[in-house]
């Protein structure tokens, strides 16, 4: 997905003749902390609510002040991952979108990004979650997928997280099944470390009951 596909043209751009009070009013309506300032189609920069409060003259046109404006933007054809990276790095609530001629088109809001990211990770889809811990050199997506699919399940989404002080990574899988019993057993058979797993309560309870029963049988031998 590209930036232009999730861009909003509902949020208006400010002009330099607009007052800080008008900017704050828009920010309150759209629940954002940044607004773009545009001269015709030229993007001048982002102004934040903090900038306006620091001026201490919110009833004056914002163009009357020498503002230290941020000028972050993304191109309409940039991938959504690059958009997320920019917003996260600069802690923005909106990011402007420009075309190939650097004309202002609109903004992407943090709310829209969060909504899209939830869809990307299949958060709304029913299914279980499993977290594997393994060394970077042992990571093989094809092998992990093979284990999941051999148990008649599919990977809906996946992400990898790591820490700078370790050579291990956590691989988080969202699957299209609510029962991880056979999948966990297969991962264990291949000596994968299962750091965590999350299933529906009834499935998890049944799994724990089954394990308890097997343990009691073992004790009675």
Domains of the chain in start order, with CATH, are 3-118 (3.10.580.10), 129-220 (3.30.70.260)
Q: What is the mean pLDDT of residues 162-168?
A: 83
Whether 129 contacts 198, CB under 8 Å: yes
C-alpha pair distances (Å), 39 with each of 23, 42, 68, 143? 15, 5, 17, 54
The pLDDT mean for the chain works out to 85
In tens, the pLDDT along 79-116 reads: 988 998 889 888 899 999 999 999 999 999 998 888 87
Q: What is the pLDDT of residue 112?
A: 87
pLDDT category of residue 221 using cuts at 50, 70 and 90: very low
pLDDT, greater one: 164 or 177: 177
In tens, the pLDDT along 56-73 reads: 878 888 888 766 677 899
In 3D, which of 47, 43, 5, 6 has the Cα closest to residue 26? 47
- Token pair listed for 191: 């000596």
Q: What is the mean pLDDT of residues 143-170?
A: 90
C-alpha pair distances (Å), 37 with each of 8, 27, 63, 107, 109? 15, 13, 10, 11, 15
Task: List b or e across 11-28, with b for residues whose CB sees 16 or more CB atoms inside 10 angstroms.
Answer: bbbbeeebbbebbeebbe
């Amino acid at each position: 997905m590209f930036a232009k596909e999730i861009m909003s043209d509902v949020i208006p751009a400010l002009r330099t003749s607009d007052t800080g009070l008008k900017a704050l009013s828009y920010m309150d309506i759209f629940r954002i902390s940044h607004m773009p300032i545009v001269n015709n189609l030229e993007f001048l920069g982002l102004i934040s609510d903090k900038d306006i409060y620091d001026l201490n003259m919110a009833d004056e046109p914002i163009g009357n002040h020498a503002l230290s404006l941020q000028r972050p933007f993304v191109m309409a054809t940039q991938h959504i991952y690059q958009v997320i990276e920019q917003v996260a790095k600069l802690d923005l609530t909106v990011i402007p979108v420009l075309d190939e001629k650097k004309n202002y088109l609109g903004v992407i809001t943090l709310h829209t990004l969060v909504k899209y990211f939830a869809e990307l990770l299949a958060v709304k889809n029913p299914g279980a979650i499993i977290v594997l811990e393994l060394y970077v050199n042992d990571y093989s997506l094809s092998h992990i997928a093979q284990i999941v699919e051999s148990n008649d399940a599919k990977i809906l989404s996946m992400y990898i997280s790591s820490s700078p002080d370790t050579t291990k990574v956590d691989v988080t899988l969202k699957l299209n099944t609510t029962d991880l019993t056979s999948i966990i057993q297969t991962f264990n058979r291949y000596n994968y470390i299962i750091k965590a797993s999350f299933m529906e309560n009834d499935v998890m309870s049944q799994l724990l009951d089954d394990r308890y029963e097997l343990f009691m049988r073992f004790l009675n031998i």
